[in-house]
Structure 1
């Protein structure tokens, strides 16, 4: 059933606006603000209430539904939870204003748009494109690859836990709570980001990726955002070339690299489903 859900999610993502209607975080963020305002709840207890409790309820619900009607009642729950757990926004679509400014050769406008739309603060235009490449790689990883990895390995509870931790780390105003959420998310990122890095080696520049991974494979301290940007840029063979559009084709090449990785992952999921 997991592979069927993953296929349906691709269709929903491509042809439907259901994801944007489902991804409403108002209730979760309201509860986060309420617990933070109280100031009396320990960060670990806050995480238990915000993350562990919803995941436990979900697991219990699926435990009840899966034996009924050959799991058909659990299928829509899997689908809705996985869609909700995907990342927010459209990473590629958000690059539109930046691409327009870069194509015009307006460096100051490109810097301004990158800060406004992408949250990238860069002082010099020549390093901006590398940062935008890293942004695209990270958003694709945390929005899609990490979520489907944990869904396929541990089920919808793990996918939901990943997204709730990400929302807590991003929106929490308490340093202690944010740090603990980031630490747990770092632990959840450790395995899937390395799986994606090895996928980059298979669909991109194998030698360049493996040269980086020999040093970083077991490095616990490197963050997922730095690792995926570092490996993704060297995996793209066109990353060091200039063209008439002043490097915009690099972003398209990085996106194509991500699409090839997605095809590879789905092929491996399908093979595992058939063999098991």
Structure 2
């Protein structure tokens, strides 16, 4: 059933508008405000309320409905949770205005839309394109690859936990709470980001990826986004940042690298299910 859910989630994300209707964070944001508003709230206790409580409720629901209808009643629950756990927004839509400005060679417009749509700042044109390339890789990873990795490995509860930690790190008003959530998210990123880097090596330039990330492969402190950016640029054999159409083409090459990696992951999941 898990593989069927993974296939259905691609349809929901790419071929329907159901994702936007499912990804409603209003109720959870209200819960976050209430948890943060408790006097003397400890960060770890707050995180338990924000993440472990929803996980426990989901586990209880699946435990109740799993024996019914040969387990098929659990399928829509899995699908809803997985779609909810995907990233917010659309990376290609966010990149659109930047691509147009970069293609025209309008540096000021590119800087403006990068800050407005992606929250990126840079002092130079070359640095800006590098940041946008990293943004594209990171958003695709955290919005899709990390979620389906934990779902395929340990089920919907871990996929939900990943998204709730990401939302807490982004929206918490208490710096300590946001920092604790980011630490736990870093722990959840450690394994899947390395699997994706290995996937880049298999579908791209293996030798270049090995040279770029092998010395950092087991490092705990390196940010997942940095490791991913280094691996993606190496796998795609991207040249130094260039203005105009060449720079836009580099974003297309990274996207195709991500698509090939997604196909590889789905093929690996299918083989895993057949063998085990």
Q: Same fold (TM over 0.5)?
A: yes
Using the size of structure 2 for normalisation, the TM-score is: 0.97
Superposed structure 1 runs of 4+ greater than 3 Å apart: 238-244
Match of 2:214 in 1: 214
RMSD of aligned alpha carbons: 1.2
Aligned to 1:202: 202
Distance (Å, rounded) in 1 between the aligned partners of 2:255 and 2:122:
22
Check 1:145–1:79 CA distance in 2 against 1; reply closer, same or farther (3 A cut): same
Measured after TM superposition, the shift of residue 244 of structure 1 is 6.2
1:158 and 2:152 aligned: no
**Mind listing any 5+ residue stretches in structure 2 that lack a counterpart?**
none
Separation of aligned partners in 2, 1:238 and 1:213: 15
Structure 1 contact 120–131 (Cα < 8 Å) conserved: yes
Return the offset for 1:243.
8.2
* Partners of 1:117 and 1:141 in 2: CA distance: 18
- State the distance in 2 between where 1:11 and 1:129 align: 31
- Please give the alpha-carbon distance, in whole angstroms, between the structure 1 residues aligned to 2:140 and 2:40: 37
Give 1:4 shift: 0.4
- Please give the alpha-carbon distance, in whole angstroms, between the structure 1 residues aligned to 2:213 and 2:122: 27
- TM-score with structure 1 length normalisation? 0.97
The equivalent of 1:9 in structure 2 is: 9
Partner-residue secondary structure (3-state), 1:38: coil
Cα distance in 2 for partners of 1:162, 1:86 equals 9
Contact 1:243-1:249 within 8 A present in 2 as well? no
Counterparts of 1:234-273 in structure 2 under 5 Å? 234-240=234-240, 245-273=245-273
The 2-side partners of 1:34 and 1:244 are apart by: 48
Contact kept, 8 Å, 2:130 with 2:241, in 1: the verdict is no
Q: Deviations over 1:154-207 (max 9, x none)?
A: 000000000000000011111111111011001100000000000000001100
Matched with 2:172 is: 172
**In the TM superposition, what is the alpha-carbon distance from 1:225 to its structure 2 partner?**
1.1
Rounded to whole Å, the distance in 2 between the matches of 1:252 and 1:239 is 13
Structure 1: how far apart are the matches of 2:149 and 2:239?
A: 27
For 2:166 and 2:241, the matched residues in 1 are separated by 35
Deviations 1:219-245 (A, max 9, x none): 000111111111111111244485861
Task: Give the corresponding residue for 2:42.
Answer: 42
Select between 234-243 and 163-172 the one with higher mean Cα deviation.
234-243
Query: Number of matched residues?
Result: 276
1:67-120 per-position Cα deviation (integer Å, ceiling 9, x unaligned): 211111000000000000000000111111101111111101101110111100
